[in-house]
Amino acid sequence: MIKLTDLLKELDLRGGDLDDHITLEQVLIAFIEDFNLDEDEFITVSKGKFNSDVFTLKPSIPFNPRLIKKSIIIADGEYEFIVPSSYRGTLYLINSKGTTIDDYVIGQVDVEKIYINANSGRTKPYRLPGAEIHLTYVSPKYRGKGLGVKMYTMLLEAYKTIFSDNTLYPGSWNLWISKLAPIGLQSGNFIGGEVGGIIVPFTPADISDSSLMQGIGVDHLILSTEPPQVLLDIKQALSGLSLSKGDYGIYESTTKIKVTELDVIVDESASIEEVIEGADLMQMVGLNDDDNYPVIVVATQDALAVIREVGDDVTLEIV
């Protein structure tokens, strides 16, 4: 039997909604396989074209949740995100009151855990732990009832920091912007983007600009309810500045410059343009092709630097 993850690779899908590509039947068959249920009880096998096996879910078969060995990631009332004992990154959203398998399994999300330590798995800038959300699916009968938002907020509560994939479908983009971003704009929280290996905060103007993920080049959206101090420091350093309005640009050095070396160049420069030339900086993300910024953010080898030009004075702030 084909696994859901294999099917996704076959369809070459990443990031966003599965609703237009994956059926509830496929999700339920994957659930049956993942939780080692008796396939003969729920699935019929027939022959299709070229004598291949065709798997079909039997309709409305009574389901006893006690049959499965599960771990609960997070619960909200009757809704639970569960995984089998052999967790592999796929979470199933279930309605604990469901009496048939298609009423019990109502959603699915594919996530990748992000770790503090590279020895444990994939990491993000500043060793920010959390979960990257790749794929989501909601049962047709539950769509239009706010369940998609609930899935994300439950994941946010479970992992404290969530990242989008690097490709968002329009529906997922709208959910991030209209429902999730306002959470990140609240005091003490963080909404921003991973761009060029660093993380920057978003303003209300940024989150309303759909070109961020396309024209400007944001790799991932980030939402955190427990941001580490370094993110709060970056948020403070760039307070009031909008990436989408061209208030600053993001640069890196082609020579892997250290922040102390960059500081010397800043001291010897009368403008940001001179800093860019003297440090051999290259723009990674921004709106202005002519390097005409009053503020630039520079990813050095050992720190993040915010450089400002005010009149004839150029300053460097280490974050």
pLDDT at position 86 is 65
CB 3 within 8 A of CB 155: no
Strand partners, 2: none
pLDDT at 306 over 80: yes
Q: Is the pLDDT score of 124 beyond 90?
A: no
Average pLDDT over residues 285-302: 87
Three-state SS for 39? helix
Tens digit of each residue's pLDDT (9 = 90 or more) over 39-67: 888 888 888 777 787 888 887 888 888 88
Instruction: Grade residue 31 by pLDDT with cuts at 50, 70 and 90.
Output: very high
CA 95 to chain CA centroid, Å, is 25
Q: Which of 5-9, 114-118, 301-305 shows the lowest per-residue confidence on average (mean pLDDT)?
A: 5-9
Measured over the CA atoms of residue 203, residue 206, residue 208 and residue 212, the dihedral's sign is: negative
The string over 34-72, giving b where at least 16 C-beta atoms fall within 10 Å of a residue's C-beta and e elsewhere, is bbebeeeebbeeeeeeeeeeebebeeeeebeeeebeeee
User: Is there a contact between 259 and 305 (Cβ–Cβ < 8 Å)?
Assistant: yes
Query: Is 250 within 8 Å of 284 (Cβ atoms)?
Result: yes
pLDDT per residue over 256-266, tens digit each?
A: 899 999 999 99
pLDDT at 305: 94
Q: How many CA atoms lie within 13 A of 283 on its CB side?
A: 19
CA angle, corner 57, sides to 55 and 58, nearest 5? 130
Q: What is the pLDDT of residue 8?
A: 38
Amino acid code (one letter) for 214: Q
Residues 6+ apart with CB under 8 A from 142: 106, 107
Count H helices and E strands in the chain, helices first.
Answer: 11, 17
Residue 218's DSSP bridge partners are none
What is the mean predicted confidence (pLDDT) over 118-143? 86
State mean pLDDT over 115-130.
83
Q: What is the reported pTM?
A: 0.84
With b meaning 16 or more CB within 10 Å and e meaning fewer, what string describes 299-310? bbeeebbbbbbe
164-203 pLDDT per residue, tens: 988 777 777 788 888 999 999 999 999 998 887 789 999 9
Quote the tokens at residue 103. Answer: 């009423």
**Paired tokens of 274:** 């001179």
Give the residue carrying structure tokens 């427990």: 226
Task: Give 17's pLDDT tier (boundaries 50, 70, 90).
Answer: very low
191 vs 162: CA distance, rounded Å: 10
Could you tell me if residue 56 is left (phi over 0), alpha (psi between -120 and 50 degrees) or otherwise beta?
Answer: beta
For all residues of the chain together, what is the average pLDDT?
85
Q: Give how far Cα 199 sits from Cα of 97, 126, 234, 293, Å.
A: 41, 9, 8, 19
Output the pLDDT for position 50: 77
Quick: pLDDT tens for 69-115. 899 999 999 999 999 976 668 999 999 999 999 999 999 999 998 88
CB burial of residue 158 (10 Å; 0-12, 13-18, 19+)? middle
**CB neighbours of 165 closer than 8 A, spacing ≥ 6?**
14, 15, 16, 132, 133, 134, 135, 220
Band (18; pLDDT cuts 50, 70, 90): very low
Instruction: Supply the pLDDT for residue 21.
Output: 66
Task: Check whether 127 has a pLDDT greater than 50.
Answer: yes
What does the pLDDT read at residue 144?
A: 87
pLDDT band at 254 (very low <50, low <70, confident <90, very high): confident
Q: For residue range 196-250, list pLDDT tens digits in order.
A: 778 999 998 888 776 665 566 678 899 999 999 999 999 999 999 998 888 999 9
Dist. CA 15–CA 164, nearest whole Å: 7
